[in-house]
Chains A and B, each alone.
Chain A
Amino acid sequence: MFLRRQAILFLFVSLLSTLSIAGGVATMPVRVGVLAWDDMEESEIRWSSLAQGLNQRLSQQLPGRVVELHHLDLEAMTQALQAGRLDFVVTNPGHYVTLEANSGVTRLATLVSGPLTDPGHIVGSAVVVLDSRSDLHSLADLNGKKLAAVSPDAFGGYQLAWVELKRIGLDPELDHPHPLFLGFPMTRVVDAVLNGTADAGVLRACLLEKLEQKGVLRLGQLRVLSPRPDVAACKVTSRLFPGWAFAAAGQTPPALSRDVLLALLSLPPDVVGQSWTVPADYHPVHELLKELKIGPYAFLRETGWDALWQRYWPLLAVLGLVLLLWGAYTFHVEHLVQRRTRELRQLLDEHRQLEGKIQAGQQQMDHLSRLSILGELSGTLAHELNQPLAAISNYARSLIRRQDKGNLSTEALRQAAGEIASESERAAGILGSIRAFAKKRSQVREVHDVVALIREASSLMSGVLSRASVIVVSHELTEAKRRVIVDPLQIQQVLLNLFKNAWDAQQASGIDAPIEVAVAREGERCLVTVRDHGPGLTPELEAHIFEAFFTTKPDGLGLGLSICKTIAEAHGGELQVQDAKPGLLFRFTLPLADAPPAHEMEHV
């Protein structure tokens, strides 16, 4: 029941509307809006033949319907269209494209005129200058000059010239050339060029030729700048674009549009040779408007940087300020971080240096404690060795006594000889332990600068003795030739011993002379000599100098040189002494770091 009621209602409404349309068509005029670009009257005159022609043709298909021409400017036409007060519009290509985009009009036909017959290439601009202006040869010469045109809205009368200027980097909008808009008719532009008000003027295509034809202008009085070679009919500066458009409004019934189109196409050319033909492709016009950012593409202008700046500069300024502050803050933080990093690095460096010093100190401590351990050990060893040596001596002397007295019994001889043998072995065992002590570190082999080792030992020496002798080091070796493979502690021990001996020798005889250390290369090895200016040695002393527990010093243990000898031998060399007259010269050699490895292995 519900459905049926709806169906009835629908039918009724449909009927009503059909009736109303049929009635409307019968009485309503066909409203055609025409762009009056210059003057209403001029426009009426211009388009009167069109109105007449259409009325004639349409009266047959649409009896009773009258074509009304509304002469409107750009603004009014747009408003009328949007209000639905127009069925058709006739307008210039630029405006048509704008309306097509904004008001949904559809082109039906394109106007062609005069010598130009291709509907796609009808409208163009000619930029004219006085022929006498020898300084103006091309559009580029217009920079800084005055350019006359009818109106910024004029398509052929301005915009086409504008886009050509823009393409070579000029822009009247930016005042080069300076634009002068003189209004219609276009002869004002011609006048301005002629009387020098403007340096150049923009005319629509073929107007110049027409004016020359009429005799208004002398032939060649005006010259077209940068004439395009591809257009033969008239001289033009710009490219050619489609002609004026005849377009139907969005709501216009297709049937009416068809009738009007048929009528238009059947119209003969009017008195100025204009006729309507199939609609052209207005795509190039779109491109042009897009390039100029006008019409439907005016929004591009608004999103351009200039427009954005105009509209948003306070926001941008604030944003910029914020960015600036942020940047400054970041910079500050970065600066702080760098400073802290630097400070930290400095601290780390100091720490590392301190560690290095501590380590160096530790090594010296090791060294000194090693020496003192050896010293203590020597004390104990001396005592330990005293006993067997004294026992041996006692037995030996006893045997001599008994022999002298003639009461040496076989039994006593056996006892004494047995004791002597066992005590000798005991002494040897004690000495062996010294050797073992000296050999304990023989595994350590490091590459060192021998001169640096000597300097270290020298500074150790001066650190221990308050009135230490000056130690002079001389050598002629490059750093690479001074690198030796040694146990640095042992070598310093040897050096310290030799320095101490030299110092003792000189002190004992009251000589104040420097201790001379020399480094040289000897074959595949590094030779080190230490010389003092002491009293030297007697041949007898020389024979025993390297023996353990042999000493000429009242408080000496006689271990130093014997250990030094052991160390020198552990390094593949030999510790030798020779009389330097005056003084004594000790020499030993060390394996060089840059010698062939096999050679070193032999010694180590």
Chain B
Amino acid sequence: MSDHAGIPLIHIVDDEDPFRRSLVFLLESAGWQAIGYGSAEAFLQASPSLSSGGGCLVLDVRMPRISGLELQRRLQGSGSLFPVIFMTGHGDVELAVQAMKNGAVDFLQKPFKDQQFLDAVEAAVHLSLKRHAADQRCRDAREMLDRLSSREWDVARLLARGMANKEVAGQLGISDNTVHVHRQHVMAKTETGSVAELARLILHADPDGLD
């Protein structure tokens, strides 16, 4: 699942070959690993992983056939964790607004300064890493919580909300002793040492898990 954990990858999609190559060269000069694609189709064909490791997408807004915005739209439902940076030679405000609404992290107007570009890429990669970490925590928490039986999950949720054993017993209609046994199992299965730890785990799995 985490094949490229430590090496972020930057994907550049632009139909202008020399310019795209120069960006790849520039990113490599800054120590990044970058791959260039001559068109949206070429990118979709290669279908690189966008959920593991860090990285970002740098898309040219105007491209023949499938535009940058269209590519962004197609990737939205695929669970991509890579932030999108748009480039345009036309400075189209409307396109920029649309792109930002769709979740783009930055919008660069050509010609741009190399540092401006590198800063944007770095920010995007950082964001992707954070997203990746959050994603990982969520997965781990769900994995832990999945080990619980249905009754144990009920007890764990109520305990995480700060109820005492007695209250949990009253709520669920079971004896205090039974609650105590479930609590022992929950703590063991989730590898948590306290109710506070348990509560954090549940929130990691689902931010709304305690509502």
Contacts and interface: CB of A to CB of B under 8 A. Distances in A.
Q: Are A and B interaction partners?
A: yes
A387 B25 contact: no
Q: Taking chain A's interface residues, is the majority helix, strand, or loop, or is none over half, making it mixed?
A: helix
Contact of B89 (A383, A394, A402, A405): A383
A394 B16 contact: no
A387 B19 contact: yes
Contacts of A363: none
A395 B23 CA distance: 8
Centre residue among B19, B90, B110 by max chain A CB count within 10 A: B19
B97 interface: no
Interface of A: 383, 386-395, 397-399, 401-402, 405, 412, 415-416, 419, 422-423, 426
Given A386-B111, A388-B18, A419-B18, A394 B30 contact: no
The 4 A-B residue pairs with the shortest CB-CB distance in the complex, in nearest-first order: A394-B22, A398-B29, A391-B22, A397-B114
15 contacts: A383-B89, A387-B16, A387-B110, A388-B19, A389-B111, A390-B110, A391-B19, A395-B25, A395-B26, A397-B114, A399-B29, A401-B26, A405-B31, A412-B28, A416-B25
B126 interface: no
A398 B114 contact: yes
Contacts of B23: 394
B183 interface: no
Contacts of A389: 111
B107 to A, nearest CB: 16
B199 to A, nearest CB: 46
Given A401-B29, A415-B25, A422-B18, A394 B110 contact: no
B30 A401 contact: yes
Nearest to A416: B25
Contacts of A405: 29, 31
A386 B89 contact: yes
A392 B26 CA distance: 11
Contacts, number: 65
A119 to B, nearest CB: 136
Contacts of A390: 19, 22, 110-112
Interface of B: 16, 18-19, 21-23, 25-26, 28-31, 89-90, 110-112, 114
Contacts of B18: 387-388, 391, 419, 422-423, 426
B109 to A, nearest CB: 10
A394 B36 CA distance: 15
Nearest to A382: B89
B145 to A, nearest CB: 46
A230 to B, nearest CB: 128
Contacts of A415: 25
B110 A412 contact: no
B22 A386 contact: no
Contacts of B28: 398, 412
B110 A395 contact: no
A391 B112 CA distance: 10
Given A387-B110, A398-B26, A423-B22, 12 more contacts: A383-B89, A388-B18, A388-B19, A390-B22, A390-B111, A391-B19, A391-B21, A393-B114, A395-B26, A398-B22, A412-B28, A419-B18
Nearest to B117: A394
Nearest to A384: B89
A242 B28 CA distance: 152
A386 B110 contact: yes
A406 to B, nearest CB: 12
A85 B111 CA distance: 146
Nearest to A423: B18
Contacts of A402: 29
